[in-house]
Amino acid sequence: MDRLNIVKGNIVKAKTDVIVNAANTSLLGGGGVDGAIHRAAGPMLLEECKKLNGCPTGEARITPGFKLNAKYVIHTPGPIWRGGGKGECELLANCYKNSLNLAYEKCLLSISFPSISTGIYRFPADIASKIALKEIYDFLSKHTDFEKVNIVCFDYDVYKIYKKTIKEFNKN
Ligand code: APR
């Protein structure tokens, strides 16, 4: 599936129609990729996010990208890892599902994801990568006109985990 790529890099540089922000439920910015996206987009992004009045975990909201290369940002709060018994896997799957469906609804056919929840929210990257790739493959098989999904890994260890997982998916 050449429409899905795992890349090492900084998502703020991505040139896809939309990039996904691993936000928190306030949508008022934070550290990690959330902080990087807000810094690169400029203060207008926070002003726009304030109008959204937050977003529940697993859901997705869209804003313009302002000073980013990407025209839009989809903000999705991932779940905090609490050991795996509190519905974290389903909530993470919903982040990918809802972000992809929202992009498609807006006729945006190329998207870049960070590795949602695997930083400050401590979700194990090996489990998260399987959830992410399953949802993305399912979506791409149903939407043959969708052009590209990049998973942009900032952290080399996370990049290696996604590359390993995609190899396992391609074998099956
Ligand atoms: N580009 C791509 N990926 C990045 C970048 C970047 N510029 N910066 C960090 N990452 C990666 C991290 O290495 C990690 O693999 O994004 C992944 C998600 O990490 P976090 O940004 O910490 O996000 P998350 O674990 O989902 O925690 C969300 O952190 O930043 C706050 O406001 C945010 O409260 C929310 C929480």
Quick: pLDDT tens for 88-147: 999 999 999 999 999 999 999 999 999 999 999 999 999 999 999 999 999 999 999 999
What global pTM score does this model have?
A: 0.98
Q: Give me the chain's average pLDDT, please.
A: 97
Instruction: Tell me, yes or no, whether 145 lies in a domain.
Output: yes
Instruction: Tell me, yes or no, whether 5 lies in a domain.
Output: no
Instruction: Tell me, yes or no, whether 15 lies in a domain.
Output: no
Q: Name the residue of 33, 68, 122, 126 whose CB sits within 8 Å of the most ligand 1 atoms, as the mutation to test its pocket.
A: 33
Contact between 109 and 145 under an 8 Å Cβ cutoff? The reply is yes
Instruction: Tell me, yes or no, whether 167 lies in a domain.
Output: yes
d(CA 167, CA 55): 33
End-to-end Cα spacing for the chain: 13
d(CA 52, CA 76): 12
Bridging pattern class, strands 72-77 and 61-64: antiparallel
Among candidates 88, 23, 11, which has minimal Cα distance to 61? 23
Which residues span the domain enclosing 102?
22-171
Instruction: Tell me, yes or no, whether 80 lies in a domain.
Output: yes
Quick: pLDDT tens for 126-139: 999 999 999 999 99
What's the CA-to-centroid distance between 34 and ligand 1, angstroms? 6
Among candidates 66, 127, 124, 56, which has minimal Cα distance to 94? 56
pLDDT band at residue 1 using 50, 70 and 90 as cut-offs: low
Task: Name the E strands within the chain.
Answer: 4-8, 18-23, 61-64, 72-77, 110-113, 148-153
What's the CA-to-centroid distance between 25 and ligand 1, angstroms? 14
Position of tokens 């987009």?
A: 41
Instruction: Tell me, yes or no, whether 12 lies in a domain.
Output: no
Quick: pLDDT tens for 56-76: 999 999 999 999 999 999 999
Q: Can you give the CATH number for the domain in which 125 is found?
A: 3.40.220.10
By annotation, the residues acting in catalysis are: 34
pLDDT exceeds cutoff 80 at 39: yes
For the segment 30-58, the average pLDDT, to the nearest whole number, is 98
Q: How is residue 128 written in tokens? A: 């998260």
As for how many domains the chain has, the answer is 1
Instruction: Tell me, yes or no, whether 1 lies in a domain.
Output: no
Q: What is the pLDDT of residue 172?
A: 80
* 151-167 as b/e: b if 16+ CB within 10 A: bbbbeeebbebbeebbe
